[in-house]
Amino acid sequence: MRTARLPSLDLIRGFEAAARQMSFTRAAAELHVTQSAVSRQIKTLEDHLGVKLFTRLNRALRLTPEGETLYVTAQSVMRQIEETARQLSTRGDDRLLTVTTTISFAALWLVPRLAHFRKTGRDTDVRLAATNDTTNLERDRIDVAIRFMEPNAAPKGAIALTGEEVFPVCSPALLIDRPLKKPADLARHVMLHYDDPAGQWPWLSWTQWLDAFNLRDLKPAGIARYSHYDQLIHAAIEGEGVALGRTPLIKRLLKSGALVAPFQNRISATREYFIIVAPHAAARPQVQRFVKWLQQEVRREP
């Protein structure tokens, strides 16, 4: 028998949005409620659990260790609920195209461009299943995957989409008082780090970038760490510090001026993005059109 009093799904949903966006304001816009409503939801959830979930900084939020733990579970639960609801509501719908990719690629590259695809593919409804786990396309009925991998690991038939370069980026407002004219000037700024305790993403490490340009002894003004890459980029946009940007994920933000790249110095990742089409979906016109659109979107970028 269950005796624990569980928090309501609305509270979990509000927390998950706030943790993913690292902003009560953006979470409120996503959920179509007021910022104060999200703030009250978080306070109610914290009171219910008896722990603090966020550390409120001057211009930003940061998850506490308890918040990080809850976020992992909440994200998984919300994704499963959304996935089940979509499956139940779209069974037998031939218009549906199911796409999976990493969370960062989905948030920073694919989602901002999907509206353009919908204008060209009016007979197609896209279902996006963003996850950093490698899914079985046949078992999970995924039509298209966009995966970031070593070229020699790409399966037969995979279509190379684009490579990746890494270089410092920041908000233009950050450079007004402390310009970055040379890499050594980074010592006057906070460095935003992507947490990678297992060392799976060495090219996203400031240590590697600084080593490449003979600055291994540089000491920044401060360090902030983020467990999700899209949160790190949102922090950079808000002027919290300097991040290592990844093309193609931030090209749109560079073009809009939300971020700037003060240096030409770049390093290239050995991995590339590949399009993988599931065998059961290869003949579908919607899939072929989507793959062609992905390739065109990459070619359109400067």
What is the rounded radius of gyration, in angstroms, for the C-alpha atoms of the chain? Answer: 21
190 with 257, same domain: the answer is: yes
CA 295 – CA 280 distance, rounded (Å): 21
Judge whether 77 lies within some domain: yes
Overall number of domains in the chain = 3
105 with 154, same domain: the answer is: yes
3-state secondary structure at position 97: strand
Q: What is the pLDDT of residue 78?
A: 85
Residue entry with tokens 């078992």: 139
Q: What is the pLDDT of residue 293?
A: 94
Spatial contact of 130 and 148, defined as CB atoms under 8 Å apart: no
48 with 189, same domain: the answer is: no
**Global pTM?**
0.66
155 with 276, same domain: the answer is: yes
17 with 157, same domain: the answer is: no
Q: What is the pLDDT of residue 4?
A: 58
CATH code for position 69: 1.10.10.10
172 with 244, same domain: the answer is: yes
Judge whether 4 lies within some domain: no
Query: Per-10-residue mean pLDDT for the chain, 302 residues long?
Result: 70 91 86 85 92 86 91 88 66 77 93 87 83 81 92 91 94 93 93 83 85 89 92 95 94 94 88 93 91 92 72
CATH code for position 153: 3.40.190.10
Q: What is the pLDDT of residue 93?
A: 60
36 with 69, same domain: the answer is: yes
Token duo for residue 48: 């219910």
180 with 245, same domain: the answer is: yes
Judge whether 156 lies within some domain: yes
Distances 195 to 71, 76, 152, 202, 206 between C-alpha atoms, Å: 15, 19, 26, 11, 11
Q: What is the pLDDT of residue 3?
A: 46
Report which of 256, 167, 257, 249 is spatially closest to residue 212, judged by C-alpha positions: 167
153 with 182, same domain: the answer is: no
Q: Which of 84, 117, 132 is at the close of a domain?
A: 84
Distances 12 to 7, 17, 70, 157 between C-alpha atoms, Å: 7, 9, 9, 41
Give the structural domain span for 42. 9-84
Judge whether 1 lies within some domain: no
